[in-house]
Structure 1
């Protein structure tokens, strides 16, 4: 089957930004392939879609970003059913709090696997189809992909890696008609943080000499999430990246995120770097 409607595949849509992005894209007229590792968690999205009359625009599929076979199978189904893929939104990820001495190297590798190699895997599989459609790659990173944050060594390392990967890919992808954008949220009121599963008393008890620093960090973080933006607000730049004619390479999701990254980034929207590196490939 081939459809004339634009089709977007979004990873990590069971909650939070991914769920909001799926609904937003459906409202904008896209056919949305809403993927998640556990399709048993699809009910919140399906219920919201039904309430808004969007159920016909959203299809739930299983995709586990750390399983290349799952990624390939999902994309093969999409192309068989719809004949095209116009955009990929890399949203799936997992948070983690801890410092390397306590976490150990295996935990760091696991964090990198989900947050970095998961993005690489889905991007690699989607690119041939996006070249065919002149499509777009939109990747949700984090302000933690710009500013390294205490007790987030593994998570920030992964997000820094994603930012570097996409910034390097963007001028190359552009030569074959594929646009690339990264979206950087700050604090978002979603299940993402709750899914860390951090037992604070246990974490502090296990932190040893790092306990005072961890306690201070957790207090600061709790305060920042008290003023977090909603997932729907954080998803708005994703929709802009999907629909605008020439979206910027880098989009922050709030003024808070822009202010937070400003000391590190003079080139807030990534245009200066992109203008420079484009000249290297043409």
Structure 2
């Protein structure tokens, strides 16, 4: 494997067991970043190690559970102890959830928020002093679901909206001290993510009064993931790399033309009617 120079910039990436996180970790290492690839369960790192070996790059694989403040602190402190600096963080760890308010418990919603919102804040808070020291970069992988609310994704979109609002508010403040803050917004990505939404399609769908609408939504969504229009993890990771390496990255960065059009339609939809008409068609 190629050796990483001691002078290399150091990036920590969360959620690297699969998908965008795995692809971004390999891409960053290939680009010369000293890459600390973290995941909640290091026994699930086989795919990550295999991808790194195939690419001929070295990764520093470490445990980091974004919902455990002690785990977050240990990971960040370990990077500083071993390398003396942290130049960038990519908040990628996240969890999907499919459901609707009447059927979900508040505990379900809180769990989604813990991973997708508070977990991002925990990592970012621990990293910021070190990013300030080097004029570093804080990048968070959100989603077009952080801009456009989508049926049966209420909790997920709420968490992503919260992340985007927080980071949009933080960006000018962090910028006064030399830290660049950006969010990267993928659309549909062909990863394991769509398989981890908590619905057993083969067992049938029973959402009570919402069953018909949920079936319509799932049929439409599965078709989107199977018809070849979903972006590859590597494609999304390329955009993350552009945000890492750009001299002055934008705050909000979409990963495809489709995502740009989708987000753009929402941002121009002052009264919300265009988005409601669109997403309403997804549920029948």
**What is the match of residue 175 of structure 2?**
174
**What's the offset of the Cα at 1:197?**
3.5
**What is the match of residue 255 of structure 2?**
253
Unaligned residue ranges in structure 2 (runs of 5+): 270-284
In the alignment, which of 232, 235, 238 is matched to residue 237 of structure 2? 235
Pair 111,168 (structure 1): closer, same or farther in 2 beyond 3 Å: same
Q: 1:13-162 maps to which residues of 2 (within 5 A)? A: 13-55=16-58, 58-162=59-163
SS at match of 1:89: strand
Distance 1:246 1:186 in 2: 23
Deviations 1:63-114 (A, max 9, x none): 0000000000011110000000000000000000000111111100110000
Q: Does 1:225 align with 2:262?
A: no
**What's the offset of the Cα at 1:244?**
0.6
**What is the match of residue 209 of structure 2?**
209
Unaligned residue ranges in structure 1 (runs of 5+): 268-282
**Would you say how many aligned residue pairs link Structure 1 and Structure 2?**
263
**What's the offset of the Cα at 1:203?**
6.3
Distance 1:196 1:97 in 2: 5
**What is the match of residue 9 of structure 2?**
6
SS at match of 2:149: coil
**What is the match of residue 263 of structure 1?**
265
Distance 1:7 1:248 in 2: 21
Pair 203,92 (structure 1): closer, same or farther in 2 beyond 3 Å: farther
Quick check: 2:39–2:63 contact (8 Å CA) kept in 1?
A: yes
Distance 1:192 1:213 in 2: 21
**What is the match of residue 274 of structure 1?**
none
Quick check: 1:140–1:182 contact (8 Å CA) kept in 2?
A: yes
TM-score (norm 2): 0.90
**What's the offset of the Cα at 1:48?**
1.3
Distance 2:196 2:119 in 1: 18
Deviations 1:173-230 (A, max 9, x none): 000000001000000000111122411365622x111011101111111111122110
Distance 1:199 1:103 in 2: 16
Distance 1:97 1:116 in 2: 17
Distance 2:168 2:183 in 1: 8
Q: After TM superposition, where is structure 1 displaced by more than 4 Å over at least 4 residues in a row?
A: none
RMSD over aligned CA atoms reads 1.4
Quick check: 1:3–1:84 contact (8 Å CA) kept in 2?
A: no
